[in-house]
Structure 1
Amino acid sequence: MERGAAVKAAEALAASASALVASLRAEESPGSGTADPLRQSADDFLDGLAQVSRIDAQVAAVRIHLAGRYVGAAEALLGPPVSPEEHTAQEMSIVAEVSCALTVSERNGSALLGEAHRLRSVLPLTLAALELGAISWQHARVVVDETLNLDPAAAAALEAHFLDPDDPNPARGCPAGEMTPGRFRAKARTWRERHHPDSIEQRHTKGVADRRVEYCPDRDGMAWISAYLPADQASGIWARTTADARALQGPTEIRTLSQLRADVLAGLLLAADLHTDGTTDGAGELAGAGAGCAGRVPSPKAQVLVTVPVFALMGLTEEPATLDGYGPIPPSMARRLIADGAESFHRVLIDPRDGAPLEIGRTSYRITKALRQWLRLRDAKCPFPGCSNQSLDNDADHVLAWADGGTTGISNLGHPCRRHHRLRHTSAWTPTQPTQNEPPGWNSPAGRHYQSEHPDWEPPHWPEKQPELLSNGVESDLLDCGDPAHQPGQPDGRDFPDDR
């Protein structure tokens, strides 16, 4: 992009924004003659917001091009450095110049130049989507972040999976630009973990070595405590504090769930440190102390699903398992959780053909619990667009009400969080019909449809050297097992009878 062309592109975007503002002002003036002016205005405002979002993305693309071009021009003006010290000085000078021009900190200026370099040199599909306004700047930054430390081939594969509709294995569900950046990050991170060229076991070993707790003072007499922990420990802590907090809720409890979680966690940690002899007995003592601080209310058992590829569970492959509410974990962690018989963790095997859930052990639960677990597997989180509320806290909701003839089956149930369950029943937001494999989408009061995400299952890896058991009939057993509830002559086990 020539210097003049870059300036003209920025001016054209500015003109587009000015024209949009002028049209909005004209709309506000009286005299608009439509059959339903209020509805027309509301639709125009939504279209205007969407157009502004596309303009923002295109402005970000122009900024990337300008930043990248400036670096090239500045380096040419400065000439090749003669020493590492001069090279560092030149980089600092360029960063300082850009930061001053944009009125941002040098840290942010340096980050922008790094993102511009990666987008222009390694991530052409992402930059092209940004130029078209198909994704936002936040989405582009997610791709930059999640491809760091990947080789060019792996980075190209990740962006092609999400941004190239002709890719052999395109992402299913919502297009990247129609997801919130936070949800897109979760999808991109999951794909990265599955396809990273380095073994997840190797990366997890390094992560365990880096575990730590951090303390950060904040305003108003408050502070943050954060812990970098193995995923199973962190998920167990979150599930335990949530379960204890929910047990304390009641008509006379004025604290919110978030406040209760914080109080339960503080009680678990501080009460264990207040014994007269100054010692603790480990996890058991912590649990007892926490129960005391929680008013001695019995805690419901948290249920955390661990989805394990069959061959990874057998130790034949090293592909990641999935911890509900977290994402990919090393298979060694999944095998340990299952082998230890942790009561809060429930194994989920997946089909070697397509990655869909095989079974969740229905024989040990009543139908209502099994049905909830199928919902958690299908949806993974609240299906409302952009919501990240994990499945453990969500409600089972009849899409077609039971009173109107709806059935209590997986194809008539949504799994919204409390907030969006309430939204469904107190507003004109309505869910669309789900299927066995896809959660419901949503229709808005403005008449617009928003598609839900669903887990992006992939077929597990088959072992390179297939052991003897696969040639002795075990393969057919694995492929034919399906849903254990589905027996010959019986209705589909995923469409359970009414559980009133």
Structure 2
Amino acid sequence: MDGVREKIERVGGVRARRARLDAEELGLLAAIAADVGDDRGVVEELTPVLRVSTREVERRIEDGRSVVRRMPQLHAAMQNGAVESYGARRVLAVVDPLDDDTARQVDGLLAEKLVDAPETAWQPGNLAQRVRRLVEKADPDGQTERARRARAERKLELTPGEHAVSSLEVSLPAERAGACYSRVDAMARSLRHGGDRRTLDQLRADVAADLLLGRDPGVSPPEAAAMVYLHVPVDAALSLSNDGCELDGYGPIPAPIAREIMTNERSIWRAVLCDPGTGEPVDLGRRRRRPSAVIRELVRVRDRECVMPWCHRPARHCDHDHEHPWATNDNGGDGDGDAGGSGGGATSVANGGPRCRRHHRLKDHPGWNTRYNPVHGTRHGHGNPQWMVPHRQPARAPHDPAQAAVLA
């Protein structure tokens, strides 16, 4: 396994070199564009050099200008091998609507946040989510207005693909899109549990098509199948602050948008009981292996997504996993992929966590031993080889009891 570890380290080195080359390319493109001034002419000249489409050349030139002029510390991070062009592009897409001064402010705040951040913070999805939070603080009014405008521009698009397959993409407000996916996913899983041999991906696609075409998909949606959770601190719900609002499976959203979702006539309010000192959901221990619906729901509300730092699968689509394996005796197992342990672990909120099916199975893979602390939101890995899983930042936990808005 030492050879595997060495190869993994070499892959990391290759990634760092690629990041530095991406930074050099963007810097050169920005300099060329500044020297020439005629974007159309330089784009045509660079297209055969870069061997990409003219549209991609235009995007790279614009990315180069933006990162050099508006996000110099992000550019420096690229030069240091920390982030590649894809991650930088995800960040630039978030700050694109900002004026130069605000963009530079976000750039500085991001650099401060990443000084002691774990490696997973540099994963493009995590990086973009962190930047959204910073943009919300730096330009709250603008963020809200952009969200309203984007929600008003919802649409349906058909994109022809290869091999006689096309994609149907629906652009919707995030909470409605999440609710639609939850409903389709729940119906697909019901069919799968009923013995249908199609894969879950095939079932989701077929169920969605049947619903759109007015056909009977052959299954009724389970109760509350279209739920999504909106985490809103009490002070934000009362318009006393505009911080801490997040939609599970999506990330931070502007507080005014969260309050609009809360007051939607199709939304249902449900209180989430929390410890008044910590803001954590109440632990409801049980002496049986299978968690009650209440325990599952509290764990999903608390953790929001798969506990692996780089996985953003919503908790409502994950398995409920015992962190310390449940067992009826010292040698027992819990039957859901957890090996038994001395004394076993309780079926409780404190001992539970959401893991997507892939990472639930990986948990028991040889050489991949992990621990999750649901109170502090930290993860550790150990074994042979030494798989280290960096710290996972806990969700914001207000000291006042929180509320969850559920869109049905």
TM bin, normalised by shorter chain, reads 0.7 to 0.9
Counterpart contact for 2:245–2:254, Cα < 8 Å: yes
Counterpart contact for 1:201–1:332, Cα < 8 Å: yes
Equivalent in the alignment of 2:390? 451
CA distance in 2, matches of 1:338, 1:72: 48
Structure 2 length normalisation: TM-score?
A: 0.81
Equivalent in the alignment of 2:351? 412
For the residue of structure 1 that corresponds to 2:313, the secondary structure is coil
Equivalent positions of 1:370-389 (< 5 A) are 370-389=294-313
Equivalent in the alignment of 2:92? 144
Shift of 1:144: 1.6
> Which of 149, 156, 162 in structure 2 is aligned with 1:206?
149
Equivalent in the alignment of 1:15? none
Q: Structure 1 pair 375/109, CA: closer, same or farther in 2 (3 Å)? A: same
Consecutive unaligned residues of structure 1, counting only runs of 5 or more, are 1-38, 76-89, 165-169, 272-288, 460-478, 485-500
Q: Structure 1 pair 118/200, CA: closer, same or farther in 2 (3 Å)? A: closer
Counterpart contact for 2:368–2:387, Cα < 8 Å: no
Aligned length: 382
CA distance in 1, matches of 2:272, 2:152: 28
Shift of 1:250: 2.2
> Which of 11, 29, 35 in structure 2 is aligned with 1:67?
29
Task: Answer with 312-321 or 130-139: which moved more.
Answer: 312-321
1:295 maps to amino acid: G
Equivalent in the alignment of 1:431? 370
Matched, 1:326 2:250: yes
Consecutive unaligned residues of structure 2, counting only runs of 5 or more, are 285-289, 328-340, 404-408
> Which of 247, 259, 266 in structure 1 is aligned with 2:209?
266
Q: Structure 1 pair 319/48, CA: closer, same or farther in 2 (3 Å)? A: closer
Deviations 1:98-157 (A, max 9, x none): 223222222111111111111111111111111111222222222222110112343234
For the residue of structure 1 that corresponds to 2:17, the secondary structure is helix
Equivalent positions of 1:296-315 (< 5 A) are 296-297=219-220, 299-302=222-225, 303-315=227-239
1:324 maps to amino acid: D
> Which of 9, 18, 43 in structure 1 is aligned with 2:5?
43
Equivalent in the alignment of 1:295? 218
Deviations 1:47-71 (A, max 9, x none): 2111111111111122122223333
Shift of 1:179: 4.1
CA distance in 1, matches of 2:145, 2:275: 26
Shift of 1:260: 1.3
2:126 maps to amino acid: R
For the residue of structure 1 that corresponds to 2:355, the secondary structure is coil
Q: Structure 1 pair 238/347, CA: closer, same or farther in 2 (3 Å)? A: farther
Counterpart contact for 1:307–1:349, Cα < 8 Å: no
Q: Which one has the bigger helix percentage?
A: 1
Q: Structure 1 pair 217/68, CA: closer, same or farther in 2 (3 Å)? A: closer
Sequence identity (%): 28
Equivalent in the alignment of 1:133? 81
Counterpart contact for 2:272–2:401, Cα < 8 Å: no
Equivalent in the alignment of 1:104? 52
2:303 maps to amino acid: D
Shift of 1:438: 0.3
Counterpart contact for 1:142–1:181, Cα < 8 Å: yes
Counterpart contact for 2:303–2:354, Cα < 8 Å: yes
For the residue of structure 2 that corresponds to 1:226, the secondary structure is strand
For the residue of structure 2 that corresponds to 1:220, the secondary structure is coil
Task: Answer with 388-397 or 401-410: which moved more.
Answer: 401-410
For the residue of structure 1 that corresponds to 2:98, the secondary structure is coil
Shift of 1:239: 1.2
Q: Structure 1 pair 178/319, CA: closer, same or farther in 2 (3 Å)? A: closer
Deviations 1:201-224 (A, max 9, x none): 433332233121111122222211
CA distance in 1, matches of 2:300, 2:152: 32
Q: Structure 1 pair 482/126, CA: closer, same or farther in 2 (3 Å)? A: same
Structure 1 length normalisation: TM-score?
A: 0.67
2:16 maps to amino acid: R
For the residue of structure 2 that corresponds to 1:419, the secondary structure is helix
Deviations 1:255-307 (A, max 9, x none): 11111111111111111xxxxxxxxxxxxxxxxx6xxx232445232342221
Matched, 1:188 2:131: yes
For the residue of structure 1 that corresponds to 2:132, the secondary structure is helix
For the residue of structure 1 that corresponds to 2:230, the secondary structure is strand
Counterpart contact for 2:275–2:282, Cα < 8 Å: no
CA distance in 1, matches of 2:30, 2:381: 41
Equivalent in the alignment of 1:275? none
Deviations 1:161-206 (A, max 9, x none): 3332xxxxx3699536654323332333344345434354433332
Higher relative contact order (CA 8 A, sep 6+): 2
CA distance in 2, matches of 1:263, 1:359: 37
Largest Rg, 1 or 2: 1
Equivalent in the alignment of 1:124? 72
Shift of 1:232: 2.4
Counterpart contact for 1:158–1:191, Cα < 8 Å: yes
CA distance in 2, matches of 1:384, 1:298: 29
Across the aligned residues of Structure 1 and Structure 2, the Cα RMSD in angstroms comes to 3.4
CA distance in 2, matches of 1:424, 1:177: 18
